[in-house]
Structure 1
């Protein structure tokens, strides 16, 4: 596509206003029109390059248009593009077999869908079918999807759009509080969980958690927290669902983030990085629990040949390039650099947290509104200087660093140098 064929950022923004719903927002006051991607870089309609430190919210973990992956997507697209599960095809069963090899514990049965919301919806349904119970427990400030049931277990107010959500959900404090140590916050959360289980345990099907809360601000609990959670849940016959939509497939230094806590969930949901930009998602469980989902069901596009072939290529690339190990090494470098900036600009940056290449840097201001405005200003200036960073957190004041796992040390150092310049200009 020739450069003159691009309609330009203003025209794209105008069309969005005309034809999209008003809920569809975008970052930046002067938002570029992104037209091309190559590994850790994206390019706008004017030819400017940007180093991507957000990866579409952990999606393009192996890099934009990675040739080792896209070649296999194209091959499958040209051979057999679509069937449903009512026909026998090989890519989906090969993918299910490969997932069994990388999932923890006895998780081995997989149901393929298209998105993280669908995966979590299916996981919640499976828990109800297996236990015969209706209720759920969820953590405050978690995000699990935009369907009715996944929105019901979402604890971030800004994402709870529907006024008629399911009331059979008990929220407990997450194991984090800015005024407490992680150990103290974990204790408060566990005490709340135990109270809920004592009162309503026989009505609860499952507890759904993100091992690391992404949109909630990159919140990672103490190592013992989920072990204690699992022990409490087992006492009452309540299942544990691990929402690994953002955390799965090597980003945190483990194939699945729950492995950091030495806990095997009863059900696991996955999406995002599994397809590296091609829609593919799934929820998986044990042989025993899978028996509960036995009434006729299907997913028209779930596990179609193209998405399955792509996911197989992704798993091969993650293995061959040792991306989880790479995330550990590069994440340590990035986190150390962010910690240095925190020490240098304590009036602007108050915390750095997360693990691997899933890190957050919390900014502060005179009030919550000021902190959010500062975050937007940093994102805008970093974009102007060639770096795309995300944002999340309850107050939308946490810089989110979730780059493709093929990012380099030079990319990290370059971004940190520019971020240092930006913070220095803002540090009055």
Structure 2
């Protein structure tokens, strides 16, 4: 597991963007005294965070241990106490600056505390906080019109909720009510939420509790993964960067891997569904929590045709891929060249404000008229005002275009790292939805051990870059930053990762 051209390691302190502090005060006791040299400087930031005056770090830890449920697990050995945010930057309680490459788990779409979004919220909270939907208020209606205008075809009816799990819950209900069928198909390795209802859709064992009835009516089918799956090759993904597997696909044959995975899906219809009937199939346009997994070209479109031919609806989960993040399109499903029947969305829709939605056709939405259905906070005035301002910023600042240009540069830069470091098994994604799969042996694709992944991840944090992690084995670095990042930010992040990997290799020789 050696780098082909390891960086020269020169121990020095990294400033973390500090202002008016001596080098000796830069790092906590839990951080290493010296860090590997980075080949580029952290980009400048003219924002000065306010001085932290809250609870002490030790008091926060004490409260967490005594009063916070154990499922709320912070990242890193010494958890960060984040105090302030500005665009692509986060600041901890001691003033250290970090480049945020995870965006609050793919949630901060236009930038932390974006001034236009802040202003929209401030104006709304000074006007009207809440009425719920027993009365009409203008912002919900304005937002509904603006949001549905972003969709193709007859996807023109929206129901607002508060989270991705709620949105997928509601989509399941609508599909079953509309079709009269009960079975729902999802992929193994998929994540669609953690409510008792959506936990059945989620097919990652680390996210499933041993509850009875969770998977009733849910079929988990083979995940069509061109890198880790049975089939796939170097021409199968819709990505600037392909796997290093050999590929027999051609323009004449189409994607052979996609065809084979499709045959496996057909087998489920033949043998596992009552009379082949189905209520719906769920799919993320690119799998998020599962490790930025992309499907073979053409697979999703063909799967949707099969689902509809057997009485079902196709539901596109855009919780992580929506709002321009994939670059070429506003919605991830557009990259698969089809129009789904229902679309769910959350996270980036509100830039961190609790907001989510389900969009479908008027005909399908009519199923909700069979009984009363109510969401107290869904589409409240504050959330609607924020949602409108997020759409404005994406358009005005051309963040979809930025995702394409900066994201492609990011992917190509990471592909260069893959050529240098054997521990990088795969680089994949589109726009600013990127994954790096770390392996202990490239030929076998054996996941890099958790301690070594953590070493890299923690070292990057200590040098000022925050990455996410995902995949069943936690060996995929997830890169989903605010869509306002620049090429200078990318260069710093890539150089930081290279330094961290070189350092870990040197430590473990």
User: Under a length normalisation based on structure 1, what TM-score does the superposition of the two structures give?
Assistant: 0.96
Which residue in the other structure is 1:376 paired with? Answer: 454
Q: Is the 8 A contact 1:9 1:32 kept in 2?
A: no
Aligned-partner Cα distance in 2 for 1:152–1:166: 4
C-alpha distance 232-8 of structure 1, shift in aligned 2 (>3 A): same
Aligned-partner Cα distance in 2 for 1:9–1:364: 35
Show CA shifts across 1:134-174 (max 9, x none).
11111001000111121001111111124221321111111
Aligned-partner Cα distance in 1 for 2:280–2:420: 44
Runs of 4+ aligned structure 1 residues displaced above 3 Å come to 1-4, 182-185, 366-370
Q: Is the 8 A contact 2:88 2:99 kept in 1?
A: yes
Q: Is the 8 A contact 2:231 2:260 kept in 1?
A: no
Note the C-alpha offset of 1:324. Answer: 1.0
Note the C-alpha offset of 1:16. Answer: 1.2
* 1:196 equivalenced with 2:196 (yes/no): no
C-alpha distance 384-313 of structure 1, shift in aligned 2 (>3 A): same
* 1:418 equivalenced with 2:501 (yes/no): no
Q: Is the 8 A contact 1:248 1:255 kept in 2?
A: yes
Aligned-partner Cα distance in 1 for 2:472–2:152: 31
Aligned-partner Cα distance in 1 for 2:256–2:454: 32
Bigger radius of gyration: 2
Aligned-partner Cα distance in 2 for 1:371–1:61: 31
C-alpha distance 33-358 of structure 1, shift in aligned 2 (>3 A): same
Which residue in the other structure is 1:396 paired with? Answer: 474
* 1:174 equivalenced with 2:223 (yes/no): yes
Which residue in the other structure is 2:172 paired with? Answer: 124
Aligned-partner Cα distance in 2 for 1:55–1:103: 24
Q: Is the 8 A contact 2:277 2:310 kept in 1?
A: no
SS at match of 1:80: coil
Show CA shifts across 1:237-287 (max 9, x none).
211011110111011112110000111110000000010011000111001
The structure in which a higher percent of residues are helix is 1
Which residue in the other structure is 1:355 paired with? Answer: 430
1:229-240 aligned at under 5 Å gives the runs: 229-240=303-314
Structure 1 window deviating more from structure 2 (11-20 vs 353-362): it is: 11-20
1:147-296 aligned at under 5 Å gives the runs: 147-164=195-212, 165-176=214-225, 177-178=227-228, 180-181=231-232, 182=236, 183=255, 185-199=257-271, 200=273, 202-253=276-327, 254-294=329-369, 295-296=371-372
Aligned-partner Cα distance in 2 for 1:352–1:217: 11
Note the C-alpha offset of 1:188. Answer: 3.6
Aligned-partner Cα distance in 2 for 1:62–1:214: 19
Show CA shifts across 1:59-104 (max 9, x none).
0110000001110011001100011111010111111111111023
Show CA shifts across 1:365-389 (max 9, x none).
3796753222211111111111111
Note the C-alpha offset of 1:4. Answer: 5.7
C-alpha distance 9-320 of structure 1, shift in aligned 2 (>3 A): same
SS at match of 2:197: helix
Which residue in the other structure is 2:415 paired with? Answer: 339
Aligned-partner Cα distance in 1 for 2:59–2:454: 23
Show CA shifts across 1:174-217 (max 9, x none).
11152531445433431122122234255420011111001111
Aligned-partner Cα distance in 2 for 1:396–1:184: 29
Q: Is the 8 A contact 2:455 2:504 kept in 1?
A: no
How many residues align structurally?
427
Which residue in the other structure is 2:191 paired with? Answer: 143
Note the C-alpha offset of 1:106. Answer: 1.3
Show CA shifts across 1:273-307 (max 9, x none).
01001100011100111111102111100000000
Note the C-alpha offset of 1:10. Answer: 3.4
Show CA shifts across 1:300-357 (max 9, x none).
00000000000000001111111111100001111011111111001x1110011100
SS at match of 2:437: strand
Equivalent in 129, 151, 158 of residue 110 of structure 1 = 158
Q: Is the 8 A contact 1:212 1:220 kept in 2?
A: yes
Equivalent in 7, 10, 19 of residue 58 of structure 2 = 10
User: Under a length normalisation based on structure 2, what TM-score does the superposition of the two structures give?
Assistant: 0.81
Aligned-partner Cα distance in 1 for 2:364–2:130: 29
C-alpha distance 370-412 of structure 1, shift in aligned 2 (>3 A): closer
SS at match of 1:292: helix
C-alpha distance 162-99 of structure 1, shift in aligned 2 (>3 A): farther
Aligned-partner Cα distance in 2 for 1:372–1:251: 29
SS at match of 1:360: strand
RMSD: 1.6
